[in-house]
Structure 1
Amino acid sequence: MLLIADSGSTKTDWRLVAADGTVTACQTEGINPYYQTVDQIRTMLSAQLAPQLPVDAVQRVFFYGAGCSGPSVNHVVVAAVQAVLPHAESIIVDSDMLGAARAASGHSSGIVCILGTGANACCYDGTQITRGIQSLGFWLGDEGSGGYLGKTLVRSVFQKTLPADLIDLFQQRYNLDRATLLDKAYKKPNPNRYFAAFTPFLSDHSDHPAVRTLVTDAFQLFLQTYIIPFPESAEWPVHFVGSIAHYFADPLRTAVEQAGLIMGCTLKAPIDKLVQYHQTTN
């Protein structure tokens, strides 16, 4: 049996693929080897994953995850998975960016972007990543991400650059004051997640011209900063993976077309396409 995982820091989606092609879905907490030890991951998998699987039947594992940037950290995941699935003959751990690329572009070349809480992008030749971007994180980058959109929205509310009707609707919903905002932004952990939590407001009011402009401008900035500098962008389609790409597909397509790029596919999550990729890969 084949086991495939797509993991973020919050949750991990797993798919068990039987010899006859039957696919079983399950989910556990997220895994990130930068922040978790082998024992912590093993304990969680023993409690959450093992009861959902025929552990002795799993022979191959492909794990794509946040924080899985190379052998120096990937071995943490390999050791934890091997402890829970002792009969697995092969455990391959790669980055969530490669997982997104294989899901969106399959066996074809393309530019693949992740637009979720954060943002990332790469050039992919149908097998491996050939070129990436220098991500600077939430405060210095992540243009086009959920964190960036939320930050831009909140800043526009407090600087009163949004129309008054939108500001009123925002405050009716969130009742946010300056002191709370600054505390969440500069003193509390995970400000990217805090600001990304405001994106449902943008989605709910996506027909408002000011919202559409805000979102489209953010996507245009992402494309100008990260995608257009790739020489491959003149010929390769640009694919998108992630919740922000999914829920804001229309303004995203507008931004891509305005930039003169080739629009590829949009996936909310990569896991099911990863199953297809590995079913057609020897």
Structure 2
Amino acid sequence: MILIADSGSTKTDWRLLLPNGKIAQATTVGFNPNYQTAENIQTELLENLLPQLGGNQPTHIYFYGAGCSTEAKCSLVAGAILTVFPHSQVQVMSDVVAAARGTCGHSAGIACILGTGSNSCLYDGQNITAQMPCLGFTLGNEGSGSYIGKKLLNLYLNNELPSDLQEAFRKQYPQTQAEILHHIYNEPFPNRYVASFAHFLQGRQRHPFIADLLHQNFLDFFRLTVCKYPNYQALPTHFVGSVAFYFADILRKTAKSQNIQVGRVLQSPIAGLALYHQEAAGNI
């Protein structure tokens, strides 16, 4: 019995591959070892994941997660999982591996994550062969919800949005400047909080100012990541994540302007990951 997790900073999608070939689903909050302790992760698994699994105990767990980019961070997450599932074999990998396996499968391509945060890699069909630096919430995350959320907040708080958008934003988010800054600088998970403001852009993509803001967001990502991979124009570039999914039209137009071939655009790579591990286990 195999349990698979695709974890971003906001949400984790789980799939349990049962011996009869059926697949069970579960959802919990996201885990990121850059912002959470092993105890935080353990508590969420015990209180919210276990009840959804209906008593099933996996033999193997493959956890793909945001922030799982070093051995130390992977060990922290693995330790928390093993506390809850002590008889399972646990493997923890970066969410960019999930993006590659879930979109490229066994073919070469470029896999990108555009969700709360962002990441990318060059994949040869079996392994990641190159990866641009992922500088995180403070220094990077171009193309992501947190990146565009920071830009949107900056414009709003400086009264730089067009008047119609300034008023609409104020009505949708009535928090004061002091409350917003307190949440960013004093509360946990500032990346999630800032990324949540990207919801304001949904349904407003046709507004010229919003369209340009999204175009520039994706252009920054392409310039600093995809366009630096060798032979990037000849390979399909795939995307996973809520920002890529909900703003796919502008993403595709921006990619075309950079001669980037867009392949799959998925909200989550979890279905592709389930297929990948079914094939690896010989269950299909």
Q: By the TM > 0.5 criterion, same fold?
A: yes
Gaps of 5+ in 1: none
1:199 counterpart residue number = 198
Quote how far apart the aligned CAs of 1:116 are: 1.0
**CA-CA distance at 1:161 after TM superposition:** 4.1
Quick check: 112-121 or 56-65, which moved more? 56-65
Task: Return the alpha-carbon distance in structure 2 between the equivalents of residues 101 and 26 of structure 1.
Answer: 22
- Closer, same or farther in 2 for the Cα pair 1:25/1:209, shift >3 Å? same
* Structure 1 range deviating more: 63-72 or 201-210: 63-72
Question: 2:140 is aligned with what amino acid?
Answer: G
Separation in 2 of the partners of 1:131 and 1:66? 18
SS in 1 for 2:202: helix
* Structure 2: distance between partners of 1:254 and 1:46: 44
Structure 1 residues 74, 178: closer, same or farther in 2, change over 3 A? Answer: closer
In the alignment of these two chains, the number of paired residues is 280
- 1:22-42 per-residue CA deviation (whole Å, 9 max, x = no partner) reads 1011233443445323x5544
3-state DSSP class of the match of 2:280? coil
Q: Could you tell me which residue of structure 1 aligns to residue 234 of structure 2?
A: 235
One-letter amino acid matched to 1:92: Q
Q: Secondary structure at the match of 2:228?
A: coil
1:273 aligns to 2:272 (yes or no): yes
Matches within 5 A, 1:166-185: 166-185=165-184
Question: Could you say what secondary structure the match of 1:215 adopts?
Answer: helix
Corresponding residue SS for 2:214? helix
Partner of residue 4, structure 2: 4
2:26 alignment counterpart:
26
Residues 10-53 of structure 1 deviation map (CA, whole Å, 9 limit, x = unaligned): 4432211123321011233443445323x554454344333444
Say whether residues 1:153 and 2:148 are aligned partners: no
Aligned to 1:132: 131
- In 2, Cα distance between equivalents of 1:201 and 1:250: 17
**Structure 1 residues 89-133: Cα deviation after superposition (integer angstroms, max 9, x where no partner):** x32221111112111111111111111111111111222221112
Distance in 1 between residues matched to 2:150 and 2:43, nearest whole Å = 36
CA distance in 1, matches of 2:175, 2:52: 42
The CA deviation at 1:60 is 2.1
Deviation (angstroms), 1:255: 0.6
Give the match for residue 15 of structure 1: 15
1:115–1:244 contact (8 Å) kept in structure 2:
yes
- Equivalent position SS for 1:204: coil
Are residue 214 (structure 1) and residue 213 (structure 2) matched?
A: yes
Q: CA RMSD in A?
A: 2.4
2:113 is equivalent to residue 122 of structure 1: no
Identity %: 43
The one-letter code matched in structure 2 to 1:225 is L
Shift of 1:210: 1.3
Taking the TM superposition and a 5 Å limit, the aligned residue runs for 1:62-141 are 62-88=62-88, 90-141=89-140
| One-letter amino acid of the counterpart of residue 145, structure 1 | S
**Paired amino acid for 1:269:** S
Query: Structure 2 length as normaliser, TM-score?
Result: 0.87
CA–CA distance in 2 between the matches of 1:21 and 1:92?
Answer: 22
Distance 1:73 1:166, change over 3 A: closer
**2:109–2:235 contact (8 Å) kept in structure 1:** yes
Gaps of 5+ in 2: none
Normalised to the residue count of structure 1, the TM-score between the two structures is 0.88
Question: What's the offset of the Cα at 1:81?
Answer: 3.2
Q: Measure the CA separation in 1 of the matches of 2:252 and 2:195.
A: 21
Give, in angstroms, the shift of residue 182 of structure 1. 3.9
